[in-house]
């Protein structure tokens, strides 16, 4: 399964292609009248923006859960929601003033709180920076009573902004055979690691489109907000990926 990342929530009512949409974009653009989803989609909690902007989560777990329930009911076709995880990139640690271990502990605790309310609609996310960090986070889930091997899907965090494909591959491979979703895994990272992933998302198309001329028939200067470009990019990417895509 590949979810096309988009910062345009209204695309949910324009295409049945699986989409990955940020909670912050829905809340900011169409909170009162969220779109009806034509196809399957997954909800990004918007943690990267939240942590970098505030140094913590200012939205409570209860309020986030209420939003997830509402979007699932009113928009339909929601496959799953990410928890309010704490990513472990150096920039996120700088923003919070905390350690990797602190971020991992906060991620596990939030998942436990959300799972009590949302059930399996919320997925666990493994966080870390080094390979050993990720393994320690698996142990933290186990100590909290969460058997990750029985989870149907597990998010893999803090990898989308890495530029070293070998590093990403190493992290993914040590966690196999867990049923992983690769957040923001793009290009060669997806092509080379699809066999170890159950699903992935990416909106790398938008970055690429900023530096290319618009598609034929498009009137905008660039296609970085263009559904036509995004769908064409998705088709090209998935033609190179050896897995079964719905």
> What's the pLDDT score for residue 246?
47
In a domain, 123, yes or no: yes
The b/e string for 126-164 (b: 16+ C-beta within 10 A; e otherwise) is: bbbbeeebbeebbebbeeeebebeebebbbbbbbbebee
In a domain, 124, yes or no: yes
User: Hey, how many other C-beta atoms are within 10 angstroms of the C-beta on 215?
Assistant: 14
Domain of residue 10, residue span: 2-238
In a domain, 245, yes or no: no
In a domain, 181, yes or no: yes
Q: How far, in whole angstroms, is CA 169 from its chain's centroid?
A: 18
Angstrom distance (rounded) from CA 153 to CA 145:
17
**pLDDT tens across 92-101, in order?**
999 999 999 9
In a domain, 243, yes or no: no
Output the pTM of the full model. Answer: 0.94
**pLDDT tens across 181-197, in order?**
999 988 888 988 998 99
In a domain, 126, yes or no: yes
In a domain, 246, yes or no: no
Strands 199-202 and 2-6: parallel
The residue among 202, 152, 166 whose CA lies nearest residue 182 is 202
Q: Which helix (H) or strand (E) holds 196?
A: none
**Residue 60, class by beta-carbon neighbours within 10 Å (0-12 exposed, 13-18 middle, 19+ buried)?**
exposed
The tally of domains found in the chain comes to: 1
Angstrom distance (rounded) from CA 155 to CA 223:
29
Torsion 152-47-78-168 (CA) sign: negative
Q: What residues of the chain score a pLDDT lower than 70?
A: 243-246
CATH number for the domain harbouring residue 31: 3.20.20.105
In a domain, 244, yes or no: no
> What's the pLDDT score for residue 45?
97
> What's the pLDDT score for residue 4?
97
> What's the pLDDT score for residue 243?
65
């Amino acid at each position: 399964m590949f979810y096309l990342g988009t910062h345009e929530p209204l695309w949910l009512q324009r295409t049945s292609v699986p989409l990955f949409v940020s909670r912050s974009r829905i809340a900011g653009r169409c909170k009162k009248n969220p779109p009806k989803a034509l196809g399957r989609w997954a909800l990004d909690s918007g943690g990267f923006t939240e942590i970098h902007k505030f140094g913590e989560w200012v939205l409570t777990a209860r309020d986030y859960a209420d939003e997830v329930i509402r979007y699932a009911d009113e928009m339909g076709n929601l496959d799953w929601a990410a928890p309010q995880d704490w990513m472990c990139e150096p920039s996120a640690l700088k923003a919070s003033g905390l350690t990797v271990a602190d971020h991992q502990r906060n991620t596990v605790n939030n998942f436990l709180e959300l799972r009590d309310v949302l059930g399996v609609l919320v997925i666990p996310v493994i966080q870390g920076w080094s390979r050993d960090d990720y393994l320690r986070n698996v142990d933290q889930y186990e100590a909290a009573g969460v058997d990750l091997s029985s989870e149907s899907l597990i998010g893999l965090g803090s990898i989308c902004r890495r530029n070293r494909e070998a590093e990403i591959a190493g992290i993914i491979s040590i966690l196999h055979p867990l049923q992983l979703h690769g957040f923001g895994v793009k290009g060669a990272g997806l092509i080379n690691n699809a066999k170890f992933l159950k699903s992935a998302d990416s909106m790398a198309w938008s970055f690429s489109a900023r530096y290319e001329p618009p598609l034929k028939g498009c009137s905008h200067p660039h296609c970085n907000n263009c559904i036509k470009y995004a769908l064409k990019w998705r088709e090209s990417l998935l033609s190179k990926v050896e897995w079964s895509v719905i």
